[in-house]
Structure 1
């Protein structure tokens, strides 16, 4: 075994081609590890190179007369954010870019973003949403990074929004506390008011019932009033018709008076002339020597003249009586009493005077008849009678003069004035009735509206009455609750609770739970965290490179036993593997400068892993030949996916979770992580134990099964070489 190992070492040292190839095999696995560790050193530190489109379509909103535009504020914030390469474009350009692959993702702030956030003060608040588009075919990890960036944006918006809203709320609470403290006397009054209301509720119920009764009565009164409206309309119309008729009658009477006034004056003048003629005639008789034999002729002439005067007086009386009837008709139409009475007095006085004048003429007529009867008597008696007749005719003439003057100066102007006054009064009455007539429709509308409103009010009173038991119960409940609170809680404590620092409360609710991170095994960067995986992977890859280029058999194998060949060549493979491991470990520490808390143990754990991996890979190829190489590669693939080197085992599919405990990588990676983060020896010993079992198992298979299995695999290898395709 040692001879084989020494020979291999000498051949490497004396053959420069072999030395170069071995040197390459020693270095190549390190490059594999170093490049991958460097590439993943800080993948999130370069996210500012990832282009992400941002589309702001937010139209803003109004909150209590204040304009808010969360989308605009977010854009301004992102312009100062270097987490990603934010590209602020419109929707069309953004979607074209993300579909083509120029943008890894697009974040769209919709038009109603601020509007929905503003619903927080409404009874039905709605959540705002942000649209997120990602092109996952570009890269497997980039979508996760951009998604995280979008989530951070949403979290920041939510945090700032919650902080702002809570700040406003606690400002209000603080103001409310101050206001409550200020209005504490009013609160006490309110409590007393509730208690008083509780006490007055029975009286309120009584008043509601009385109001309902009064409303019903008022409705009946309005219905009666509405029933009287047509009658009022008819009465008003009739009154207007009567006034119009009366006015027309007065106008006609005035016209008639104006027509008969000249005739009355002419008739009075005629009577006066007759009286004068009679007087003159009597005077002539007195002065003349009367021939009594012609007495009959003379008396006939006098009697004719006296009858003419009496007829004229009767004509005047008839005209005055017609005027009196006209005044009486006006009086029946409701004209002013005093004016009518004055007019009647004037007419009556004129009638009395005419009656006296008429009586005088009739007396003259009687005397003339008497003269005719006694003409044969003594002449002295005739003279006496003529003297008396002359006196009476003179009196009649004087009375006619007085009546003519009174009629012209007093009776006619007074009657015309009273008629004009009556017409004015009728005009005023007509104006008043016209106003009443115009008002009646409005009164009717008011009555209808009042009836409607009264009906509604009655309905409301009925509703209030029906709801009164509920209100009564609630007021009593509120009063009981106030008494209960008074017994349990001090309002001053509530005021003190409300009067907290709004800024402090705002800060608290923006981040109610603060994460105090305590790293038990701090690893400063992602590359250092991935160093165990890539280092273990490099060690396995190094073993694969060796079995791909170096032979597991030796020349002159007939000089050595199978076990000697197995262990002799294993030492050569293991020595090269150790060099690979040392170089990759030291490169991790000093070249890549990965964070490794226990560098020495990191190297030692790497050497142990190399020993186990080499025992497995070498044994597979030494025992199974080319089939073993394929087995080693398959084993590598399974271990990359199922060892938990990149993702936690619990996140892996069930198959890989099942095979995880049976993979050497599982324990090798955990052991190297102990050295990187800080060793927990209980766990390290656990990993060393299971890892050693894999190595021992590989060596036992090579020790006891190589000879028997090689007999069968040699036939297969000979066949494969005969094909000319395999070496």
Structure 2
């Protein structure tokens, strides 16, 4: 009880000392509102900055010249400008390109949006082979304000999405307008597919027949090759015969030439014989006349001898007369025979002349025929030579033909194999064309049943909508940043207190270290309580901060304020002014590693390692649980860590006071030393 009384006494004396010094009292009062001023003013100023973006001046430059699409005028730039005039997203200023550029330089506009002159033209060429996307130029003035450029970037993304949706609706409208044409085309295609199925069936039958004929062709190439081989052998014999024919024709030609020479000689001889026959006939005529004269003379002589005998019988009885009469009779008989022979000879000469004439005529005919035979023999020789050459060519051609027949056989075999595949493919075509016919018929029926409207176009343009279900909803920017700024401002308030309140020097002489420590800590905790309550009051009452639990919010604020007070008391008590510097360093580390602005995962990996070692990290997490998420299980852990830090800091500070008491040898010395210092 005595120790508690001493502690209360020291605590009362501390406050009496404060009240006796007006400037100290004013300073402490000012320190009590430091967290309120620090975080309250900031959060009030930026409680809902996105609700004021309609005051941001933004330049809009429309240079779009329009285009035509499916026979309709397309003026996306003009339509977009009209929509912006009815929008309060920003404070729009519709200017020329030069005015926009000058306004950005003069800091008149935070950003500019330019619609190029070919915007509609590019949008109209969506169905071309290589269409270029329409370009919307966004020019942020980041040097003027970076956050504004980020806000503008988000707004431009939204504008882009809206423009894309409108363009898609235009494309879909055009597409559906052509669906009926497509439906008609599908019907015609279905009819064509039916014909294709019929034709492919006939093709398959033809392929099978062709395949059978190819088999016959392949089977026939064997006997054909054998026949060609025999034909080649026959041509060899024919070649041998044609050689002999050519040689014989040459001999025949030579013989005909010789025969022509002999015929000429024979003709000349016949003509000579004819001449001799004429001479013979003349001689025979003369001889016949002489023979007649001789016969007449012999008959006259015989008559004369008769007369002589009559006249001279004695002479007639003589041997000489008898011989003469016999000779006369013989001469007369010879003359008669000569005359008869001459007559026969003359007849033979006539026959010889007639035969010679016939022979001469035959020789002339034979000569002409022999001449024709000579010409024919020359032709025969030339023909035999041509036949011989033709036989050689025939033999060569038959060799080529035999090789070709082999290739034909191989080709027929390959073609046969190919027709097998073709037959299989034809079956697939038949089946596929039948299926295609059915599918096209179904597609034509389905497309003809489509009746789109404006809702259909919107569905195609924007088939997905976002159904946002927030976990731990944060209504505005100030609410989202409150955990960070409340935590930071309470730490700043704790540091500021050590400037106007001496955490070492006691108001009166302490007898025990714990009394000394208790009076100082209690004073700081009271100020921390006031800081937390003032801050919470303004947050809840003035700024209308919405929290899941007001008691938890107030209690956690007090716990955090006391924890910071214990930390700062420990640093300044142990190290004096250097302790305040260490407190500033700790604040800097906490500001970067607490995750109050950006997620911890987005800061450098080296700083991420410090996250779990900073009290502000647990403070921010705890306030988020109370304000937004309602995850009190995490809150309990955060509060436990802060309570542990508070206890550890207080214990270290108490240890320091115990050490100082023992080292100085009593409270009076402590008081004297502190006063002296």
TM-score class, shorter: 0.5 to 0.7
How far did 1:100 drift? 3.1
Match of residue 492 from structure 1? 442
Is 1:168–2:174 an aligned residue pair?
Answer: yes
Cα distance in 2 between the residues matched to 1:650 and 1:129: 34
- After TM superposition, the structure 1 = structure 2 runs for residues 9-408 of structure 1, keeping only pairs within 5 Å, are 9-13=15-19, 15-173=21-179, 176-177=182-183, 179=184, 184=187, 186=188, 189-198=191-200
Cα distance in 1 between the residues matched to 2:179 and 2:74: 23
CA contact (8 A) 2:28 2:500 kept: no
Change over 3 Å in CA distance of 1:191–1:644 after alignment to 2: same
Three-state SS of the structure 1 residue aligned to 2:126 is: helix
Match of residue 582 from structure 1? 533
Is 1:700–2:651 an aligned residue pair?
Answer: yes
Q: Which moved more, 1:167-176 or 1:519-528?
A: 167-176
Change over 3 Å in CA distance of 1:657–1:515 after alignment to 2: same
Change over 3 Å in CA distance of 1:474–1:43 after alignment to 2: farther
How far did 1:159 drift? 1.7
Correspondence for 2:518 among 567, 580, 589: 567
Change over 3 Å in CA distance of 1:110–1:188 after alignment to 2: closer
Change over 3 Å in CA distance of 1:197–1:526 after alignment to 2: same
Change over 3 Å in CA distance of 1:148–1:190 after alignment to 2: same
Three-state SS of the structure 2 residue aligned to 1:35 is: helix
TM (norm. structure 2) is 0.60
Match of residue 297 from structure 1? none
TM (norm. structure 1) is 0.56
Match of residue 516 from structure 1? 467
How far did 1:667 drift? 0.8
Correspondence for 2:560 among 609, 614, 618: 609
Correspondence for 1:4 among 10, 17, 37: 10
Cα distance in 1 between the residues matched to 2:661 and 2:462: 69
Change over 3 Å in CA distance of 1:66–1:170 after alignment to 2: closer
CA contact (8 A) 2:24 2:500 kept: no
Cα distance in 2 between the residues matched to 1:15 and 1:536: 30
CA contact (8 A) 1:34 1:588 kept: yes
CA contact (8 A) 1:191 1:482 kept: yes
Match of residue 577 from structure 2? 626
Match of residue 600 from structure 1? 551
Q: Which moved more, 1:625-634 or 1:702-711?
A: 702-711
CA contact (8 A) 2:193 2:437 kept: no
Match of residue 641 from structure 1? 592
Change over 3 Å in CA distance of 1:587–1:655 after alignment to 2: same
Change over 3 Å in CA distance of 1:202–1:15 after alignment to 2: closer
- After TM superposition, the structure 1 = structure 2 runs for residues 424-439 of structure 1, keeping only pairs within 5 Å, are none
How far did 1:565 drift? 2.5
Three-state SS of the structure 2 residue aligned to 1:48 is: helix
CA contact (8 A) 1:38 1:527 kept: yes
Cα distance in 2 between the residues matched to 1:697 and 1:68: 73
CA contact (8 A) 2:36 2:489 kept: yes
Three-state SS of the structure 2 residue aligned to 1:108 is: strand
Three-state SS of the structure 2 residue aligned to 1:512 is: coil
Change over 3 Å in CA distance of 1:99–1:561 after alignment to 2: farther
CA contact (8 A) 1:557 1:565 kept: no
Three-state SS of the structure 2 residue aligned to 1:52 is: strand
How far did 1:477 drift? 6.6
Cα distance in 1 between the residues matched to 2:92 and 2:129: 36
CA contact (8 A) 1:523 1:595 kept: no
Match of residue 310 from structure 1? none
Change over 3 Å in CA distance of 1:174–1:3 after alignment to 2: farther
Change over 3 Å in CA distance of 1:552–1:564 after alignment to 2: same
Three-state SS of the structure 2 residue aligned to 1:502 is: coil
Cα distance in 2 between the residues matched to 1:579 and 1:675: 20
Match of residue 550 from structure 1? 501
Three-state SS of the structure 2 residue aligned to 1:121 is: coil
- After TM superposition, the structure 1 = structure 2 runs for residues 452-463 of structure 1, keeping only pairs within 5 Å, are none
Correspondence for 1:658 among 599, 609, 617: 609
CA contact (8 A) 1:163 1:510 kept: yes
Change over 3 Å in CA distance of 1:476–1:600 after alignment to 2: same
CA contact (8 A) 1:194 1:475 kept: no
Cα distance in 2 between the residues matched to 1:497 and 1:539: 69
CA contact (8 A) 1:581 1:610 kept: yes
How far did 1:529 drift? 2.1
Correspondence for 1:528 among 479, 498, 510: 479
Change over 3 Å in CA distance of 1:169–1:710 after alignment to 2: farther
Larger Rg: 2
Name the count of aligned residue pairs. Answer: 445
> Structure 2 regions of 5+ residues with no counterpart?
1-6, 208-418, 664-676
How far did 1:501 drift? 4.6
Change over 3 Å in CA distance of 1:493–1:117 after alignment to 2: closer
